Structure 1
Amino acid sequence: MHDDILKLALDLSRTTGEKIGSIDKIMVKTQILSMNARLEAARAGTAGKSFAIVAQEMGNVTDEVSALSADLHAAISDNATRIEAAGRQMMLDFRGKRFADMSRNAVEIIDRNLYERSCDVRWWATDSAVVNAVQTPSPDALEHASGRLGTILRSYTVYLDLWIADRRGVVVANGRPDRYRGVVGQNVSNTEWFRKGMATVSGDDFIVCDIDRSNALGGAQVATYATAIRADGQERGAPLGVLGIFFDWEPQATDIVRGVSLSEAEARNTRVMLLNANHRVIASSTAFSEGEIYPLMPTEPCGYYQRGKKLVSYALTPGYETYKGLGWYGCIESKLSD
């Protein structure tokens, strides 16, 4: 609709200019006719005096019409320029605000999704099979824990794998030993998720790591959540190990950025992204390079700005319930028409 208003203003300006131009051409012809009439009247002498007066008045009227035409052309050109500028700004504001809202919606969807992951890890860390795997780690207990994790994975298809590590950082069980061989026995004591998971204060706490690729999980992009497994599954029990859950990031995030409601024309000229706190692209509706840093310049939690011939709209994650988020942004970059 805003595009139509701007197009109408430009068409009106162009059409009016063309009509005024036509009037000017007629006035030029009229002035030439008036001049020729005065010349003929002068040549006719006394007999042409009356006609000379008419020719003179004809020239005066032509001058007045030409002056009026020039004034009208200047006024219309000025107003058309202002209408065009106002129309472009209105279109820019409308699109910027709309895309900023869409950016916020995209990052809110992923935050709601990841909030559920924070609930999952805290809940599963109290499962008796998980607790027994590090509290009384017999072969039967470890086998039972692996089977229990496998059952969870069959129901929660958004995870690549679930790992149980003991207090030394050695993985003692995982949910997909057939797919990810060699996981059990790995020492993960130096990983961020294990160290921070062991340091959680209570069963209500959890940690989440930024999006990264995991060689142990086939090089897939993962969002890792972890919390301590505590004695007897108690909220304040002593930490006996860590449960790490690996969210299959790429397909879930890609569905979100490609699922933003855009028209076919908009989709051809926009790029929808999720950016981490350092503005690294972690999901994009178009192809992107690994480690790409997007030059976002936010001045407020939600907004938009023009950069060259592109409109950049963005929104900082507001978090979801008890999940504060990781400072991520939803971002939509769109091309502006000439």
Structure 2
Amino acid sequence: MQQSELQQGKKFTLEEVVEFTDLIAEKLDNAIDKVDNINHKTHVLSVNASIEAARAGTYGRPFGIVATNMSELSEETTKITEKMRNDTKEILQVGSLIKAQSKDFRGNRLSDLALVNIDLIDRNLYERTADVRWWATDGSVVDALTQKTSESYDAVSKRLAVILQAYTVYYDLVLADADGKIIANGNPQYSSVNTMVADSRWFSSAVKTKSGGEFGFESVHRSGLVDNNLALIYSCAVRENGDTKGKVIGVLGVIFKWESLSQTIIQHTPIDDDEKKNTRICVTDDDGVVLADSDNKMLKDKIQFDKKTSLFSEKKNYLFTDYGGLECCIAHALSPGFEGYSTGWHSIIIQNLGSISKKA
């Protein structure tokens, strides 16, 4: 921290204030040491002067008075320097207190931001569960799986295309029959018709549901149905006559543009640009597999650090630990859920504090 920066009215972080406080204390300590050294020489000089004055007898009395005054001045200086040393210790204690409060402030702020991120994701994805359950009862969807004609397949494809025009958050909407063969899709850009999806998680989980009020799901993955783009797929069983308790006759899947949501939220996390240079913002599953990431390592990286299991078990908290060879603040928030829906994922913000770890 330079004097010119202070004069220019620059804003400083708490860490920089602590650094400046420590610097002041160090300079004061050095100055006190120098005063002590001079005072010691003065004391020695006054003692020698008293001795010489005593030897000089009557002629040395004036010099003796000066020596006495020098001794008194030395004693007073000693008291002053001792007080200054105590004051310096108090400055250092204040610096330590600020440093502790600074860490708490940082951790709480970052964990709050992590919570906002995952809450936004939960709220948005809840809408996807509502969409697929609603559209699974659409007349054209039920008719296509009931009539099984080229005309009904064409009609449902057109209907799905219309829905896609209004809901741009999806890559595609696909409809599979009970055997797991896609019979129609809404986006002509993707040729998924006749693809077998019976073994896919989104299809099988929907088939196992007990009513139309439930839904299936496949987490973040690169979907071959949409040119291997990162996607989430929400699904719902289509039932006879659109009855929520009817027999399963097929499955509707909605293929969500995961990166459009997740990366937008991460990129707009309210952290200063300078701070972002030392910050990684991501969302992971329980195993730490990265699902969304400011470093763009989705599905390619796994977040691991000491006490991760403990931190992941908490709704919201933070810790300071070694990560990648550097001291870091790792803030965490668990998916809070919205209207009964929760991804169960973890929102993490890792901020490098800039100091090299002392770990061997």
Q: TM-score if structure 1 supplies the norm length? A: 0.91
Distance across 2 between alignment mates of 1:151 and 1:113 = 21
Matched, 1:34 2:46: yes
Q: Secondary structure at the match of 2:219?
A: coil
**Following the alignment from structure 1 to structure 2, what is the Cα–Cα distance between the partners of residues 201 and 216?**
26
Task: Report the Cα offset of residue 157 of structure 1.
Answer: 1.3
For residue 349 of structure 2, the aligned residue among 321, 325, 332 is: 332
Of 143, 147, 150, which residue of structure 1 is paired with 2:154? 143
CA contact (8 A) 1:13 1:76 kept: no
1:167 equivalenced with 2:178 (yes/no): yes
Q: 2:189 aligns with which of 154, 179, 185?
A: 179
Query: 1:210-245 CA deviation, whole Å, 9 max, x = no partner?
Result: 111112321111111011001111111211000011
Contact 2:289 / 2:299 at 8 angstroms: preserved in 1? no
Q: Give 2:330's aligned residue.
A: 312
* 1:90-121 deviation digits (Å, cap 9, x = unpaired): 01111111111110000011111100100110
From 59, 66, 71, give the equivalent of 2:71: 59
1:48-96 deviations in Å (ceiling 9; x for gaps): 14522541452254145225523541x2343233212211110111111
Q: Hey, what's the Cα distance between the residues in 2 that align with 1:287 and 1:168?
A: 37
Structure 2 unaligned spans of 5+: 1-12, 356-360
Question: 1:212: which partner in 2?
Answer: 221
Within 2, Cα distance between the matches of 1:209 and 1:25?
75
Cα distance in 2, alignment partners of residues 209 and 288 from structure 1: 19
> Identity percentage over the alignment?
32
Shift in Å at residue 40 of structure 1? Answer: 4.5
Q: Which sits farther off after the overlay, 162-171 or 263-272?
A: 263-272
- Taking structure 1 as reference, are residues 290 and 198 closer, same or farther at Cα in structure 2, changes over 3 Å only? closer
What is the letter of the counterpart of residue 180 of structure 1? Answer: Y
Q: Aligned-pair distance for 1:46?
A: 3.6
Q: Distance in 2 between matches of 1:175 and 1:109?
A: 27
Contact 2:202 2:217 in 1 (8 A): yes
Deviates more, 1:76-85 or 1:128-137: 76-85
2:9 alignment partner in structure 1: none
Is 1:10 the counterpart of 2:22? The answer is yes
Are 1:117 and 2:128 matched, yes or no? yes
The residue that corresponds to 1:191 in the other structure is 200
The question of whether the paired residues in 1 share the 8 Å contact of 2:291 and 2:298 is answered with no
> Which consecutive unaligned segments of at least 5 residues does structure 1 have?
none
1:232 aligns with 2:246: no
Preserved contact between residue 275 and residue 283 of structure 1 (Cα < 8 Å): yes
Q: Give the aligned residue type for 1:24.
A: D
CA distance in 2, matches of 1:44, 1:289: 91
Aligned partners of 1:78 and 1:33: how far apart in 2? Answer: 30
Deviation at 1:47, TM superposition (A): 1.2
Pair 235,290 (structure 1): closer, same or farther in 2 beyond 3 Å: closer
Equivalent residue of 2:338, what SS?
coil
Q: Judge conservation of contact 1:129–1:141 (CA < 8 Å) in 2.
A: yes
| 1:98 alignment partner in structure 2 | 109
User: Structure 2 CA distance, aligned partners of 1:277 and 1:132?
Assistant: 40
**C-alpha distance in 1, partners of 2:153/2:161?**
12
Superposition map of 1:233-248 within 5 A: 233-248=242-257
The aligned counterpart of 2:5 is none
2:303 paired residue among 294, 297, 300:
294
State how far apart, in whole Å, the 1-side matches of 2:94 and 2:284 are: 37
Q: In 1, Cα distance between the equivalents of 2:196 and 2:298? A: 31
Q: Is contact 1:126–1:233 with CA below 8 Å preserved after alignment?
A: yes
Deviation at 1:24, TM superposition (A): 2.4
Equivalent position SS for 1:201: coil
